[in-house]
Amino acid sequence: ETGSGSTGSAEPVDPDPLLVPWAREALADPRVRLSVTAATDGSAADVDPLTHSAVVLAADRARAAAALIGPVAANRLTLSTATAPGQRRALVTLAFSGDTQRKPR
């Protein structure tokens, strides 16, 4: 979960302590990619305090969640934004991209 109170915040609130070890273990496999989708709750208050933009705040939330994980190669990380009524969050998922090398036939 990210942000709390009456104004929008990208600061992670009580992040899952298993997030970082889970992500690092998953990334040990070169076929794995991470996706971070962060959302604003759709309320007028859940916006970036400087730009008053929900999209900018959601992007900041995605970046903050990715920063918790640490360095990840650009081709292995996707950041996305969304609006999820009632949910101020960042969700990290993994995708399997298949074998990185094809075997000759």
Overall fold of domain 19-96 = 60s Ribosomal Protein L30; Chain: A; (3.30.1330)
Distance CA 4, CA 90 (A): 13
At 37 the three-state DSSP class reads: strand
* Backbone region of residue 47 per phi and psi (left: phi > 0; alpha: psi in -120 to 50; beta: other values): beta
Q: Is the pTM of this model over 0.85?
A: no
| CB burial string 46-65: b at 16+ within 10 A, e below | bbbeeeeebebbbbbbbebb
Q: For 28-52, write each residue's pLDDT tens digit.
A: 999 999 999 999 999 999 999 999 9
Distance CA 105, CA 102 (A): 9
Contact of 62 with 56, CB cutoff 8 Å? no
pLDDT at 6: 55
Q: Is the pLDDT of residue 3 over 70?
A: no
Parse the chain into domains and list their residue ranges.
19-96
Element (H, E) at 62: helix 54-69
Orientation of helix 19-27 relative to helix 54-69, angle to 10°: 70
